[in-house]
Amino acid sequence: MGPGEIITFFLIVVGLPVTLGVGSHLYKERLKFKTKELEILGNETAEKAAQYAAHNERLEQRVRVLERIVTDKGVDIAEQIEDLRDGSETKELN
């Protein structure tokens, strides 16, 4: 066995398993990082969805009020609109 064959044997027996072990460890760490990143993204998405749902609910309530104003024939529409404006201004000030 010459020196070249000894080096080749050493690289195969020692170097290859060490390289594969280090690569495997790095891959596992990357997977942990990606998992954590996806969890954070999921939490942020859930929070945004809740905010959109709350905003949507407020808009639906406003539309219901407007529909009620438009469909109610016995009430002065202008007066109700002014009452709503006055109500929203007082809510914003509080």
pLDDT of residue 30: 98
Query: Distance between CA 31 and CA 49 in Å, rounded?
Result: 27
Confidence (pTM):
0.49
- R_g over Cα of the chain: 34
pLDDT digits (tens, 9 = 90+) for 27-81: 999 999 999 999 999 999 999 999 999 999 999 999 998 888 777 765 577 777 7
| Number of separate domains in the chain | 1
Q: Which domain holds residue 89?
A: 3-93
